Structures are given as C-alpha cells and as structure tokens.
C-alpha cells in the first residue's frame, strides 16, 4: 500500500483511455499523469486506493523513445492533448497498438491484420470546434474576474487558455470578445457548485470549406444582458456569421441543453466534405477534423461496395453526413438519429444536395430501426452502416442488424474496445471480419477512430476460420441477444 506523497520509480507500460500512463509496482497499478508508455519516471502518489494509485510524474528517469517537449504552454495542466509528450509518429504507433490489442484481446480475432493507421501530414490546427468553460477566478487586484479556458484533467478546474494549437488560428479573437463582453456587461459566469450565474460555456464551430463561424453561448437562462454589445464585437472577427444561445438550466456535466435560441445572423454553419454540402446546427454532432473525416467517409464508402442497387441504413447518422455520401452511390438510404435538430439538418442537407433517395427518422436507433422493419417487412437492408458513440451499439440494435442479415456491415467507431465487443457478437452470428482501418481523427489525444468491414458468410455461427471464443459474461450476454436461449 502506498501513502500520499510517496515517491515511487515506475516504468510505464500502457496508457489509459483518459491518457494516464499505466505502470505496475509490487502488484499495484499506478495511473501516472504526464507519463507515456516507455518512460521510466519517479512518480509522486496523489491518491492511494486498495489496488491502485493515482500519481503524477515528477521526474523522468529514462524517457520513452519518441518523447518530446510539448509545444503547448498549457500541456500537462490542460486535460486535452494527453499525448503531447510524444512525437506524432509515436502517437500513431500507440494508437495502432491500441486498436490491434482490442481486436485481438476483446474481439478474440487472432488472424486479422489491422491496416496501418492513416495519420495527418500536418497534425495541428485541425479542429473545427472549440468548447470553452467559463468560470470565475480572483484577479490580481483581489476582485473576481471571468476566466475562459479548458478543464484540467479529471477535474472541473478551469485552466485559463487564450490559444489552442489544435483549433483554427484566429479562434482566440472570439475568446477575447467574449471575455471583454463578460467584463463590461456584468453577465455572471456560471458557478458549478452553487448552480448560480449565467454563462456556462462558449462554443464555436467553423466550416473549414466555407470559412463560416457560428458562436453559441451556453447559458443558465433564456437571455443575456446587452446581446448587441457582444454581437458588435463578434461580427468584426473574420468568418463569424452568427451568434446563438443554448439554454442549459440543469445542474449537470452535460454541456448542451436542448433549446437553441438564434440571436444574430445564421444559426448554422455551412461546410462541405468532398462535393457534399452540409448545414450544421450547434446542437448537432459533426466530426471535428474535416481532413480526416474525408478519409474516414471515403473508407466507409469503399467498404460499403455500392453498385447503385442497394438499400442502405445509416444508423446513428447525425446530420446525415455518411448517409449523403452513400446516397450518391446507392438506390436508397435510410438514416436514423436521436437528436431532432440533427435530423432537421439531415433533411435540409439532402434537399440542398439534390438527393431524393435519402429518408431520415428521429429516435433511438435501437427503437426506430426494429419498428420500421416491423411496419414494413419488405424494406430490406443490403448494407448497414453504424457510427455509434463511445459506448458502442445497443444490443437490441445488434439483434435487429443480425435479423436483417445485410451482405455487408460497415462499422465506424470512436472506441476500439466497444467496437471489438460488438464485432465479436456479430461474427459469432455469421459475419466475417474483413478489414479494420484505424484513422487518426484526433492528433494529440488518446482517441482513435476505426472503420471496419464485415461480410456475411452464413446465417449460422461463425465459420472455423474466425477464431472466436465467445464467453457468456463478455459485455453482453449472447443468450439475451438470442431471446433467452443460452448459448456459449
Ligand atoms: N455518423 C455521424 C454521427 C456519428 S456520432 C457523423 O459521422 O457525423 C454518433 C451519433 O449518434 C450522434 O449524432 C448522436 O447524437 C447519435 N446517437 C447517440 N445515441 C443514439 C441512439 N441511441 N440512437 C440514434 N442515434 C444516437
């Protein structure tokens, strides 16, 4: 057992999902911030538990191969780019290994060669969206001052930040305009402890293809004092075309509330991926890295193998980005998504691109998809594309996908662990894992996106060449999937 402030030498073997280096000492697991795999460090214990401890690297004894001094002035205190201590090539190698390990260990696939990860030529200034928490700090003269920045790792302490190297150059002018507005208008930053105060977050999104920027203040209310004062400042920032409010009155960690109030100019940003044009509401999900999104969607399109005769489902479709990419090459595309504003965008996006063969439905994919199939048994599915959030596909959805027996499933994933879990289930029921292509959408962070192709080989259990070892207790119970019939 360790004690607080004890200094322990440790070699870092792995990295956690939230970016801490993982090492072992005397049977204990240490989660060490500011340390990366390959480092040997002297770690200071910050919190000791029964089987593990949280620690911070105080001194590097032997640096990992590829260790660099981060360029960012707030690296180490900001929770954002956990891999900024590694050269980009080493970051890519780590992500490749993460995907391979998940596919092998969680998925049980022993003979699948994961394709080499596709990285960026210029892994900086790639993000099209920034979200900055707003809070209060004691200024030099002892008076309370508004602060804008990023959260420190594992906390809601705001690290004041004027500039983020991962966002587009020029975003800092928006932050200074908001800071000035807060000081002069008297609009109070929100206080997470008490639930009082008004301004919670500043959200900004830029369409890289058009240059348009929309700013959205997340507020604990329905109006702000002197809105025209803020707009006068903001509209002088090159690219800014609109300002809106998002209403979030809940005491919650979730950033956005469910109401949008347009104030000035446009309430959505226009962007293009390839030759498809999109309108994007601040409420809708949109991939943050346009360069790599094109790579990801091109891969999904290639894996879908469309000839023009197929009925395709795009589940978790957001604003219809993948759906519309596919609609150009398919007979019919159905998109399903839970956020109503995103579906409004999707319908509008189909219209502005002149695509009449895409239909969109609002609701939970696991509810809406089975319901639509039940109402219209002849609807069919030649190809199903899924792009779920980190928790992966709902088991009810996997059951419906298996029942629809499409020839191909394209799985776009932002979490290789839940991806591997779901692949194991699908491959136990007649699909073969053909391709796994990692794509680096988030340079600097531990996250990695993958695009996967599954082909249907039979309606029965997987053939012998897919070496599976499905255990009952793995994430989902197969018996539940099969409606109560135990199988293992
Ligand atoms: N394919 C889109 C969006 C992917 S992100 C793109 O590439 O832009 C995942 C999406 O799933 C988000 O838009 C989120 O709102 C949506 N979502 C989350 N849970 C869902 C559910 N149960 N059913 C349908 N959509 C869901």
Residue 102 among the catalytic residues: no
> What pLDDT, on a 0 to 100 scale, did the predictor assign at position 459?
57
**Which residue out of 288, 316, 397 has the highest number of ligand 1 atoms within 8 Å of its CB and is therefore the one to mutate?**
316
Tokens representing residue 482 in the block: 């099969």
- Cα(278)–Cα(324) distance, rounded to whole angstroms? 10
Ligand 1 centre distance from Cα of residue 7 (Å):
44
317 C-alpha to ligand 1 centroid (Å) = 6
Q: How far is CA 409 from CA 132, 198, 346, in A?
A: 37, 45, 22
User: Residue 251: exposed, middle, or buried by beta-carbon count in 10 A (0-12, 13-18, 19+)?
Assistant: exposed
Quote the pTM value.
0.89
Contact 453, 432 (CB under 8 A): no
Q: How far is CA 25 from the centre of its chain?
A: 33
Nearest to 349 by CA among 266, 274, 276, 260: 276
Question: Could you give the count of Cα atoms lying within 13 Å of 207 in the half-sphere of its Cβ?
Answer: 25
**If you measure from the C-alpha of residue 281 to the centroid of ligand 1, how many angstroms do you get, rounded to a whole number?**
14
Minimal CA–CA distance to 410: which of 359, 442, 449?
A: 449
Tokens standing for 239? 């690219």
List of the chain residues with pLDDT < 70: 459-488
**Ligand 1: which residue has its CA nearest to atom 1?**
317
Closest alpha carbon to 293 in 387, 415, 225:
387
CB neighbours of residue 229 within 10 Å? 16
Distances (CA, A) of 351 to 276, 330, 345: 11, 16, 10
Query: How do residues 65-109 score in pLDDT, each as one tens digit?
Result: 999 999 888 887 888 898 999 999 999 999 999 999 999 999 999
Is residue 346 within 8 Å of 316, Cβ to Cβ? no
The DSSP-derived string for 79-131 is SS-TTTTB-HHHHHHHHHHHHHHIIIIIT--SS--PPPPB--SS-SS-BSEEE
Q: What single-letter DSSP state applies at residue 237? A: S
Q: Which residues contact 100 (CB under 8 A, 6 or more apart)?
A: 114
Question: CA-to-CA distance for 333 and 351, rounded, in angstroms?
Answer: 14
Helices (H), 128-226: 171-185
Ligand 1 atom with minimal separation from the 388 CA: 9
- The catalytic position among 102, 216, 244, 414 is 414
| Burial of residue 31, with CB atoms counted within 10 A of its CB: 0-12 exposed, 13-18 middle, 19 or more buried | buried
Return the ligand 1 atom nearest residue 317 CA.
1
**Coil/strand/helix, residue 369:** helix
Query: What domains lie within the chain, and their CATH numbers?
Result: 7-67 (2.40.50.140), 129-273 (2.40.50.1070), 285-475 (3.40.50.150)
Q: Token digits for 148?
A: 């804008």
Report d(CA 171, CA 160) in Å as an integer. Answer: 15
Q: Ligand 1 pocket test: pick from 315, 389, 393 the residue with the most ligand atoms within 8 Å of its Cβ.
A: 389
And the tokens for 141?
A: 């003269």
Listed residue (187, 109, 62) closest to 428, CA to CA? 109
- Separation of alpha carbons 470 and 108, rounded Å: 8
Q: Which of 320, 337, 385, 422 to mutate to test the pocket of ligand 1 (most atoms within 8 A of CB)?
A: 337
């Amino acid at each position: 057992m360790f004690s607080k402030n004890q200094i322990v030498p440790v070699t870092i073997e792995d990295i956690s999902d939230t970016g801490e280096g993982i090492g072992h000492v005397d049977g204990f697991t240490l989660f060490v911030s500011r340390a990366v795999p390959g480092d040997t460090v002297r770690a200071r214990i910050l919190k000791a538990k029964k089987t593990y401890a949280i620690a911070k690297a105080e001194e590097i004894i032997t640096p990992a191969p590829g260790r660099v001094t981060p360029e960012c002035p707030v690296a180490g205190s900001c929770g954002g780019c956990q891999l900024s201590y590694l050269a980009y090539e080493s970051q890519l190698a780590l992500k490749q290994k993460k995907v391979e390990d998940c596919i092998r260990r969680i998925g049980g696939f022993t003979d699948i060669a994961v394709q080499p990860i596709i990285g960026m030529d210029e892994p900086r200034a790639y993000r099209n969206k920034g979200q900055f928490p707003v809070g209060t700090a004691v200024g030099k003269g002892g008076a309370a001052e508004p602060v804008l920045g990023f959260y420190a790792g594992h906390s809601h302490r705001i690290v004041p930040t004027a500039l983020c190297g991962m966002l587009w150059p020029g975003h800092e002018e928006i932050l200074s305009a908001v800071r000035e507005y807060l000081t002069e208008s008297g609009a109070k930053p929100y206080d997470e402890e008490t639930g009082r105060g008004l301004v919670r977050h500043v959200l900004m999104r830029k369409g890289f293809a058009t240059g348009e920027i929309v700013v959205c203040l997340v507020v604990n209310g329905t109006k702000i004092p002197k809105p025209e004062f803020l707009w006068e400042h903001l509209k002088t920032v090159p690219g800014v075309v609109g300002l809106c409010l998002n209403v979030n009155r809940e005491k919650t960690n979730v950033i956005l509330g469910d109401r949008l109030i347009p104030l000035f100019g446009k309430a959505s940003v226009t962007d293009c991926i390839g030759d498809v044009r999109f309108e994007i509401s601040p409420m809708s999900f949109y991939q943050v890295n346009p360069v790599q999104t094109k790579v990801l969607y091109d891969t999904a399109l290639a894996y879908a193998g469309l000839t023009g005769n197929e009925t395709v489902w795009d589940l978790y479709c957001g604003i219809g980005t993948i759906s519309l990419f596919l609609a150009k090459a398919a007979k019919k595309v159905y998109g399903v998504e839970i956020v109503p504003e995103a579906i409004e965008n999707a319908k509008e996006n189909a219209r502005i691109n002149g695509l009449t063969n895409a239909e969109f439905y609002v609701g939970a994919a696991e509810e809406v998809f089975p319901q639509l199939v039940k109402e219209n048994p002849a609807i069919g599915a030649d190809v199903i594309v899924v792009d779920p959030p980190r928790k992966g596909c709902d088991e009810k959805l996997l059951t419906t996908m298996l029942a629809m027996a499409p020839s191909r499933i394209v799985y776009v994933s932002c979490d290789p662990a839940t991806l591997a879990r779901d692949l194991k289930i699908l491959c136990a029921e007649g699909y073969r894992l053909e391709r796994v292509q990692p794509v680096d959408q988030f340079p600097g962070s531990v996250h990695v996106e993958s695009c996967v192709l599954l082909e249907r080989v039979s309606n029965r259990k997987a053939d012998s060449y897919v070496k599976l070892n499905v255990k009952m207790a793995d994430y989902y119970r197969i018996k539940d999937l099969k409606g109560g019939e135990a199988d293992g």
